[in-house]
Structure 1
Amino acid sequence: MSKEILTPDVDAPKQFDDAASAVAQLEKLYTEATEFLCGAFTTAMIDGAPKGRIRAFYPEVRITTTSFAKIDTRLAFGHVSSPGTYAATITRPDLFRDYLIQQIGLLIENHKTSVQVMSSTTPIPVHFAVASDPSITVPQEGAADFTLRDFFDVPDLSTTNDDIVNGTYVSPDDTGPLAPFTAQRVDYSLARLSHYTATDPSHFQNHVLFTNYQFYVSEFESYARSQLSDPQSGYTAFV
């Protein structure tokens, strides 16, 4: 017998002609979803297994264009290449606020159409939902008195992939990808930053390069120290 699925109430899909307002709605949906998961998870750690399966979903932004109107071909982003519907699931809109406002603003401007913000059908793994709350720790498998994945969604590496950016993604409903990575894939990368450096992603600069080549690391270190020696660089510490 399948468990009842318990989900938070969510707003109906909304159209936006203003990028900042669209991102504010993404933040609202994401906050409501993660607070629901965090609250249910905290209760489960105290009271035991929930009465049903706990599930909340990533927010999503999508755009539909019906025109082949020519877009400036010099643009590397901020537009779609052909008519159709395109969508992207979004995580941590608070962290990516400026980036999202820029990208969504360009889509609205270049295609002369609105974007739609809604709750997606992609569940948020509980590990990612609680990641930004230092007061909550997900126990190792077997540490709780119930099996976590029986009641909460957990990270699934089979769907946390690079299919979009690799050009191998196949849409199940002809909706094209609006971003090179899904929300789960971004969450996975944010978790790696935190895991490898013991530093919350909010404290990182915008661009991070992962590498295991020592000569790259040495060069980065040399550059960082040269910047620290320059009082005009704006940098104050090398972590």
Structure 2
Amino acid sequence: MRLLSVNLGRAKAVPYTDHPDGVTGIDKRPVDEPVRVAAPGPKGVGASGLAGDAVCSTRHHGGDDQAVYAMAREDLDAWERELGRPLANGSFGENLTTSGLDVSGALIGERWRVGREVLLEITSPRIPCRTFQGHLGEPKWVKRFTERARPGAYLRVLEPGLIRAGDPVEIVHRPDHEVTVALTFLAGTTQRALLPRLLEAGAALHPELLGRARTYTAPQQA
């Protein structure tokens, strides 16, 4: 299990974003040099957890609970075969492209040691948006990505430090529940009846999703 690449984006003007300035940082490219990773601050204030990486829409992206986005190379390869086109590392706007990790099958609250210093914790899945569809340029992309339910994972930074392409990734903690990234994605998109199950993940879950699960469950418990 290792990092194939660490990917950073710069703010870029595009016609397919809702950002008021018309810019997005979704076009991320691999870098060769070490990158510092640290908690960026609360959502709406903090942006990316990776130094030098642009997050333009801080209302919806970035912040401590979405500091890092990881995608498995194996999932990119599967999409390459389906779309019939190459997808470079970073194509989905991910910061970390991994090898040997079932990212979407990972558990909420699972912790990864990346390299010697950095400790990350999985919080939630990525939810596709109009900007993602525009970036890929594929028809009905949001629907297709949602149906696949292999979204990759957002992570928070528990211990900061430097990472670089080629670093090993070690799973150092797996929680005692069965709430995976993929299940959380389904609960938050097409199968709302799964929302009560998210409560098993507790405080490790992204606070917004945890709040949705509690709101959905409350009337059933009344």
Structure (1 or 2) with the greater strand fraction: 2
TM over 0.5: no
Scaled by the length of structure 1, the TM-score of the pair is 0.27
Structure (1 or 2) with the greater helix fraction: 1
